[in-house]
Amino acid sequence: MVKIGDIELSDFPLLLAPMEDVSDPPFRALCKEQGADVVYTEFISSEGLIRDAAKSVKKLDIYEKERPVGIQIFGANLESMLKTVEIVEKSNPDFIDINFGCPVKKVVSKGAGAGILKDIDLMVKLTEAMVKHTNLPITVKTRLGWDHDSIQIVEVAERLQDVGCKAIAIHGRTRAQMYKGEADWTPIADVKNNSRMHIPVFGNGDVNTPEKAMEMRDKYGLDGAMIGRASIGNPWFFKQVKHYFKTGEHLPEITIAERVEMARRHLQMEIEWKGVEIVGVMETRRHYTNYFKGIPHFKEYRLKMVTSDTAQGVYDVFDEVLEKFA
């Protein structure tokens, strides 16, 4: 059994990665019901929370059915991060995750996200201060290093553990790689195989098939898989992986009717959460390409979905899709 602090998980938990503009409550709920063991919020700016920025505050919404859920925050200023912990605690997450891995320029340029990989001492100092500032478990998501020449993830992970970090998720790329090339899981396995490590070590990056998840578990010996892009428009991925683990076989392909039903529910939940129809409609658009991926001659229907400004308009397209493809 894998544990984050006192949170008991299955033997090889599947974690929904924190993804900006993707991992909101409706999407997390759908992934949870399809087998995700742990879910994370979108990453939230510490400076945005302190300024009470509406977008940052809205990201604190969590629901009982999502648990265990971690709220992920990023920042590089110690005082701001400690104030953020106090704000986040009020939402009562199961744990708080620190993003030390986001490679996006606007985050990195402020020394946050993967930018902190250039200052490991600060990374450790921030983690330690946050651990001391809350009774909630503190976890970390990071990358292998800033670039290929500065990879010291085994030492970094050990130092984070020593100051009280309760779990670490590692993306198998450096910041310099962004999302290019293949994720390298070998250094993550080196972290796990360090005899001094006793906290869970989760792997992230390129887990896009059930076979890859099994490889992460059996060949690399990691404690769990964090799944990001493979789940977008495909909340079923978690169920597919678990079925493969159990039987060695793939679940049947998702039918058109199932895809339409999931997309319909996603839109309904998004509107309900946002409270404004047009906002819910627009927030769900990015998922349609993925929900209906691989269907030949689908372009005109996708175009209608992403240009409709009303829920009814999108539902009508769903009905057309059922009529033509199901």
Q: What is the reported pLDDT for 177? A: 86
Taking every pair of C-alpha atoms in the chain, what is the biggest distance, in angstroms? 59
Instruction: Please tell me what DSSP assigns to residue 52.
Output: T
One-letter amino acid of 67: R
**pLDDT for residue 106 is more than 90:** no
**Residue 236 parent element (H or E):** none
Contacts of 34 (CB under 8 A, 6+ apart): 235, 236, 237, 238, 239
**pLDDT for residue 258 is more than 80:** yes
User: Is residue 165 annotated as a catalytic residue, yes or no?
Assistant: no
**pLDDT for residue 269 is more than 90:** yes
d(CA 20, CA 10): 26
**pLDDT for residue 326 is more than 80:** no
Distance of CA 106 to the CA centre of its chain: 19
**pLDDT for residue 37 is more than 90:** yes
178-196: average pLDDT: 94
pLDDT band at 289 (very low <50, low <70, confident <90, very high): confident
Q: What is the reported pLDDT for 56? A: 87
Bridge partners (DSSP) of residue 9 are: 2
Q: What is the reported pLDDT for 147? A: 87
Q: What is the reported pLDDT for 70? A: 97
**Contact yes or no for 169/204 (Cβ under 8 A):** yes
**Contact yes or no for 236/217 (Cβ under 8 A):** no
Mean pLDDT score of the chain, rounded to an integer?
94
Q: Could you tell me the residue ranges of all domains in the chain?
A: 2-247, 256-325
**Contact yes or no for 144/187 (Cβ under 8 A):** yes
DSSP string, 115-163: GGGG-HHHHHHHHHHHHHH-SS-EEEEEES-SSGGG--HHHHHHHHHHT
**pLDDT for residue 290 is more than 80:** yes
Q: What is the reported pLDDT for 128? A: 97
Contacts of 272 (CB under 8 A, 6+ apart): 26, 280
Q: Which fold has domain 2-247?
A: TIM Barrel (3.20.20)
**Contact yes or no for 224/214 (Cβ under 8 A):** no
**Could you read off the pLDDT of 223-241 as tens digits, one per residue?**
999 999 999 999 999 999 9
The reported pTM is: 0.94
Residue 183's nearest CA partner among 197, 199, 169 is 169
Query: How many alpha carbons lie under 13 Å from residue 319 in its C-beta half-sphere?
Result: 6
Give first-to-last CA distance, the chain, whole Å: 42
Instruction: Please tell me what DSSP assigns to residue 45.
Output: E
Ramachandran region, residue 96 (left: φ > 0; alpha: ψ -120 to 50; beta: rest):
beta
Structure-derived torsion over alpha carbons of residues 60, 142, 34, 5, reported in degrees to the nearest 10: -80
Q: What is the reported pLDDT for 72? A: 96
Indicate the burial class of 312 (C-beta count within 10 angstroms; 0-12, 13-18, 19 or more): exposed
CATH class, 256-325 region:
mainly alpha
pLDDT band at 103 (very low <50, low <70, confident <90, very high): confident
**Could you read off the pLDDT of 135-176 as tens digits, one per residue?**
999 999 999 998 888 889 999 999 999 999 999 999 999 888
Bridge partners (DSSP) of residue 170 are: 142, 203
56-81: average pLDDT: 92
Single out the catalytic residue among 15, 19, 96, 102: 102
Say what percent of the chain tops pLDDT 90.
Answer: 78
Q: What is the reported pLDDT for 18? A: 95
Contacts of 107 (CB under 8 A, 6+ apart): 74, 113, 114, 115
Residue 208's nearest CA partner among 268, 272, 134, 293 is 293
**pLDDT for residue 82 is more than 90:** yes
